[in-house]
């Protein structure tokens, strides 16, 4: 067992039909998570994960609870075969955007049923704001952060995610993103990919969603995490319930500092990471942040065949 270890949790966009089905069938602990989610939500998120249809699974208010459920099912299956390090000071947890909620469940800061209902609301609020104030997001490949910030200053777009060296996501109105796309290519970006999302997430366009989310967060109990939980908006540990709540509210309309969060964890001597959830997005980001870091994924039953 590594001395220091970090657990990473997937964000929105990594979903696919069939995710979690083999874990559900192979591990009673994973099945219990899906069953709890179905009961908490009042409909079968399990069926949506396993069978689709794709257009329903990708709706933000479905996608967010679906990914959280699959991620925590993978987490519980992992724990059933691989005990966690006893010393909580050696454990770190972080999640990309939506993945923060999975990280908080894994850290025993938020109960699973509360979290799955909460992210269902979060997704709904984000969709409502996107309908009121349409926007887009685009991924800038091969542009430095300083150049991305200048691009935003010149176009009115906003930095949404700083994911890794050479991968920055921007948000804004359709005109702003179109202008930024053109300018970015002129200024040396290798590629600009307009993302298949329904709104300008992690930008000022989402302030209304943040306010609504604050009301929902007031209804649930948040505990001090039992691991080193790293916040997206500060890239630093957050351990008081008040700070965690404030950061979750801010996060909806603020930049996700993923690269800085990973560099903070790496600075603590962590070289071993485990990613939970669908696909391997965080592993590929880590390759660009620190090629020496060891990242394994827990997504399917074969990922757990050899135990921890």
Beta strands 272-276 and 5-9, pairing class: parallel
Q: How far apart are CA 71 and CA 293, in angstroms?
A: 21
Which alpha helices (H) appear in 107-206, and where do they start and end?
112-132, 145-155, 174-186
Task: Name residue, tokens 């007031």.
Answer: 218
Q: How far apart are CA 107 and CA 92, in angstroms?
A: 9
Here the tokens at position 17 are: 């039909």
Do 142 and 185 meet the contact criterion of CB atoms below 8 Å apart? Answer: no
Here the tokens at position 11 are: 């964000």
Which regions of 150-282 does DSSP assign to beta strands (E)? 158-164, 167-172, 191-194, 228-229, 272-276
Please list the active-site residues: 97, 202
């Amino acid at each position: 067992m590594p001395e220091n270890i970090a657990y990473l949790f997937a964000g929105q966009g990594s979903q696919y039909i069939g995710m979690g089905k083999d874990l559900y069938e192979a591990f009673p602990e994973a099945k219990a998570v899906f069953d709890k989610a179905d009961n908490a939500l009042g409909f079968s998120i399990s069926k949506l994960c396993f069978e689709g249809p794709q257009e329903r699974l990708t709706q933000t208010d479905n996608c967010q609870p679906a990914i959280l459920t699959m991620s925590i099912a993978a987490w519980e299956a992992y724990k059933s075969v691989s005990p966690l390090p006893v010393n909580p000071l050696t454990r770190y947890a972080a999640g990309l955007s939506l993945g923060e909620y999975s990280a908080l469940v894994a850290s025993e800061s938020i109960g699973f049923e509360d979290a799955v209902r909460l992210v269902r609301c979060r997704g709904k609020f984000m969709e409502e704001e996107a309908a009121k104030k349409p926007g887009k997001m685009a991924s800038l490949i091969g542009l430095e952060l300083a150049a991305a910030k200048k691009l935003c200053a010149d176009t009115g777009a906003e930095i949404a995610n700083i994911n890794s060296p050479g991968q920055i996501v921007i948000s804004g109105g359709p005109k702003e993103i179109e202008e930024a796309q053109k300018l970015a290519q002129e200024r040396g970006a290798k590629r600009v990919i307009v993302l298949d999302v329904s709104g300008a997430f992690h930008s000022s366009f989402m302030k209304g969603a943040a306010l609504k989310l604050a009301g929902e967060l007031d209804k649930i109990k948040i505990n001090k995490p039992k691991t080193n939980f790293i916040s997206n908006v500060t890239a630093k540990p957050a351990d008081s319930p008040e700070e965690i709540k404030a950061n979750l509210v801010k996060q909806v309309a603020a930049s996700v500092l993923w690269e800085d969060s990973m560099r903070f964890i790496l600075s603590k001597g962590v070289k071993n990471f485990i990613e939970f959830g669908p696909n391997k997005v965080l592993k590929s980001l880590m390759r660009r942040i620190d090629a020496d870091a060891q990242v394994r994924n827990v997504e399917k039953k074969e990922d757990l065949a050899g135990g921890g």
